[in-house]
Chain A
Amino acid sequence: MSDIQKLLSQLHNNELSRRQFITRAVGLGLSASAAVSLATGGRAAAAIQATPAADREPVTVTIWSWREDDVLVWQAAAEDLQETWPGLEVEVEVSDATEFGTKVSTAMQGGQGPDIITTRAGEGYFRPYAEANMFVPLTDKVPGLAEIPEGTLGQVSFGDEVLAVPFASQVWVFYYNTQIFEEHGLTPPETWSDLMSTFQTLKDAGVTPLFVPAREGWVLSGYVDCIGSTYLGDEFAGQLIAGEKQFTDEKFVSLLSRIKDLQPFFQEGYVGNNVPDMDAAFQSGQAAMILYGGWAANTYIEQAPDLEFDFFLSPPDEAGEEPSSYVFVDGGYAVNAASEVQEAALELVKYSATVDYGQTFSDITQEMSSIPGVTATEENKYLQRQIEFAEHAIQNLYRIRSPFDQGDPGISTLLHPLMQGLLSDQVTPEEVAQQLQEGLAQWYEPFQNGQG
């Protein structure tokens, strides 16, 4: 039996996830697209026809990304498009996530950018590129956009023009160690008071209830998203966006107080911990819970195969009420207006808006594709769970990717350090709310009409 056959056998026996299968098959010399095709049972290439295939010259499209998995995804996409564009190849360059934005903006300014850019999301991100006409407007060029919800497209647009095809959506969740919960007779909480009782039970038993990476302001801001989506709800968030409510309103201040109330359940020295510390603590069973993005689930599966964990959303105050989730677009694919192979780049980006591409994306990355109709593989309950949570997403985003993130200073810029200050007792919930309101009122028009 060849190595590939062994891998296939392991895949069919559910001993390997599809992602593990693809990674190992590529390691054995199989092309990425062939590996994906084997893993997913093979799918027909998308039939996107612009100019006859025979008239198309072989080209190489350069793509920049901060995501390692994108190499496999794009190679598979190029393979799928061979019928419509013979000789189409991709060259994917992956850079460090922290420096990626700087690298792209510097290269674009110097006219040295790639043909396809993996973008972040939010109007604020797209503004400088749109004002400089550096991205190709996609609204009329990508048929697949019609199937994507408006709220999602709004996060990859500037004004009325869609500038990128969204590739993934993310959701903030409470992760919990199921073994620890079972050992202490706990179940996922149905109400906020259940959650507090769960924390207390764990603390009394000498277990760290919640591991908090307080050195990372962006994670602490995620607490506002995760807990706030259920606590504030769509109506209040909508009123905030309309300027009818303010961040200094009691409801938002009490959300911050609610987060601060969790402090006694954090690990000792939490202000000195970062995300790698949190990952290590959760994977090794030193902490019962963390609050983080769904994207980490695959890392935990790979790095700690024995870890048994699951998710829940921030619970509501009353039993029987539905919890809500905060779902946001991770990023998109944009076409460089200065690309010399723009037609080929557009062909790839068009394909990225199809269900076939979305399914390949989800199969490889195990992340939620932004394309409707993509399903989770049976063995990945974590992705299934995230897709379920996404059905309960609030529609009025009030923090990341929200209208408050589109100006200067944006809500994320303001909130990251303020949350650190809140949880290190430097500022009170009222002061956080006040500084948020003051900062946003400088540019957010609904807060300037005599209400801010």
Chain B
Amino acid sequence: MRVFRFLRRPSVAADADTSLPGRRGRAVAIKQHTYLLMLVPGLAMYLAFIIWPFANTIRVSFYNWSGLGPLDDFVGLGNYTNLFNRAPINRQFSNALSNTAQVFFLSTVLSTFVGLGFALILSRKIPGSRFYQALYFMPNTLSVVVVGFLWNLLLNPQFGAVNAVLRSIGLDSLARPWLGDPDFALPSIVAVSAWANMGFPVLIFLAAILGIPSDLLEAARLDGASELRVVATIVIPLLWPTLITLIVLNFIASVNTFELVFAMEGSEGGPFFATDVLGTLFYRMAFGGVGGVYAGTGLGGAAALATLMLVIVLPVSVFVIIYQRKVSHEY
């Protein structure tokens, strides 16, 4: 496989003699660094819409602020310590953290690993594989609100299709109020999320599998390796970087989980915080949640939580990017 290197500076610039005196030397130096000017528009956008809001979030996290009026009540690390010490927000924070971790582990299994399984099957030249690829990706095109509404109906305890199917095949004991049962509400939402987003990992894994040189696989088969052995000893190891990338993306998405929980269980992450994640807790703290009741924890506390969320995501992402570079391979 050809590896494309990132654009280099023109060799003429690299070879230029920067020690040339006078105007010619300055002209060469300017020409040599013109590319830096090209970066300015993008950098300005990045600074304005990513770096500045992020820096401002950190700044706000040190203030007691409702979101209205002047930002003048400096509380130092008060908002951070509140998350760990002050009831009931400390209980809600640890619960949301635990639920977010559950979302990550469950979605890794349900979305990433099951997605890998589907991709392995679809990579075989079986009839209708193109159709199934499109079919698996179709839910990705639905908006989260539509998915939430649809599955709210399907999982309804009285007239939902899921319980109706279970009852019709004699599995009455498995029928339950999925979204109202504290033990099943979160796994149900993760399963719905996996259903809605399955197309993405399948697509990525499929592209990676199809990118493996066929001569590698053929050689193994000629040496008598079974299909299972080919998958276990050649395909999976070569998919490792892709798998890591998807797990990291899944980790970031899990920490930022909000929309589907909000659409299916509201901002309180009910029942009794069973589906409360860091995203819904942030929403409640920042905007006061249901009924517009003013939450005194306010934007300052929410900013502290958002900063902590970034502190959780950033090191993992950096670590994995470094690790991925080490294990990546070229064919």
Contacts and interface: CB of A to CB of B under 8 A. Distances in A.
Given A109-B68, A120-B293, A129-B68, A417 B158 contact: no
Contact of A125 (B155, B293, B297): B293
- The main secondary structure of chain A at its interface with chain B is helix
Interface stretch (A76-84, A141-149, A180-188, A265-273): A265-273
A421 B158 CA distance: 21
Contacts of B297: 408
A102 B291 contact: no
Contacts of A407: 296
Nearest to B177: A272
A24 interface: no
A414 B91 CA distance: 12
Contacts of A395: none
A128 B182 contact: no
Interface stretch (B110-118, B126-134, B264-272, B303-311): B264-272
B252 to A, nearest CB: 25
B254 interface: no
Interface in B260-294: 265-266, 268, 270-273, 287-294
A442 B291 contact: no
B184 to A, nearest CB: 9
A131 B71 CA distance: 12
Contacts of A102: 287-288, 292
A215 interface: yes
Interface residues of B, number: 40
Contacts of A101: 287-288, 291-292
Given A214-B180, A271-B180, A412 B291 contact: yes
B294 A131 contact: no
Given A215-B180, A424-B182, A134 B68 contact: yes
Interface in A395-420: 405, 407-410, 412-414, 416-418, 420
Interface in A92-116: 98, 100-102, 104-106, 108-109
Given A102-B287, A412-B293, A413-B293, A270 B177 contact: yes
A450 B292 CA distance: 32
A277 interface: yes
Interface in A208-248: 214-218
Interface string B8-35: 0000000000000000000000000000
A251 interface: no
* Interface range for A: 35 or more
Interface string A287-308: 0000000000000000000000
B295 A413 contact: yes
Interface stretch (B37-45, B82-90, B101-109, B314-322): B82-90
Contact of B181 (A125, A271, A274): A271
A351 B286 CA distance: 35
Contacts of A105: 67-68, 287
Contact of B88 (A125, A217, A435): A435
Contacts of A420: 270-272
A86 interface: no
B304 to A, nearest CB: 15
Given A215-B270, A417-B273, A435-B88, A410 B293 contact: yes
Interface in B160-184: 176-182
B157 interface: yes
Contacts of A106: 67
Interface in B114-143: none
A427 to B, nearest CB: 8
A272 B179 contact: yes
Given A122-B293, A269-B157, A409-B89, A128 B66 contact: yes
A102 B66 CA distance: 12
Contacts of B180: 214-215, 269-273, 424
B57 interface: no
A112 B181 CA distance: 42
A216 B268 CA distance: 9
B324 interface: no
A439 interface: yes
B213 interface: no
B245 interface: no
Contacts of A416: 268, 290
A416 B272 CA distance: 8
Interface string A317-336: 00000000000000000000
Interface string A250-272: 00000000000000000111111
B224 interface: no
B68 A128 contact: yes
Most B Cβ at <10 Å: residue of A101, A124, A435: A101
Nearest to B294: A124
A421 B156 contact: no
A185 to B, nearest CB: 27
A426 interface: yes
A435 B179 CA distance: 25
Contacts of A132: 68-70
Q: Which 10 A-B pairs have the closest CB atoms?
A: A408-B296, A272-B177, A101-B292, A269-B157, A272-B180, A271-B180, A132-B69, A421-B272, A269-B177, A272-B157
Interface of B: 66-70, 86-89, 152, 155-158, 176-182, 265-266, 268, 270-273, 287-298
29 contacts: A100-B292, A101-B292, A122-B293, A127-B66, A127-B294, A131-B68, A132-B69, A217-B268, A269-B158, A271-B177, A272-B155, A272-B157, A272-B176, A272-B177, A273-B156, A273-B180, A274-B152, A409-B88, A409-B295, A410-B295, A413-B289, A413-B295, A417-B272, A421-B271, A424-B181, A424-B271, A435-B88, A438-B88, A442-B86
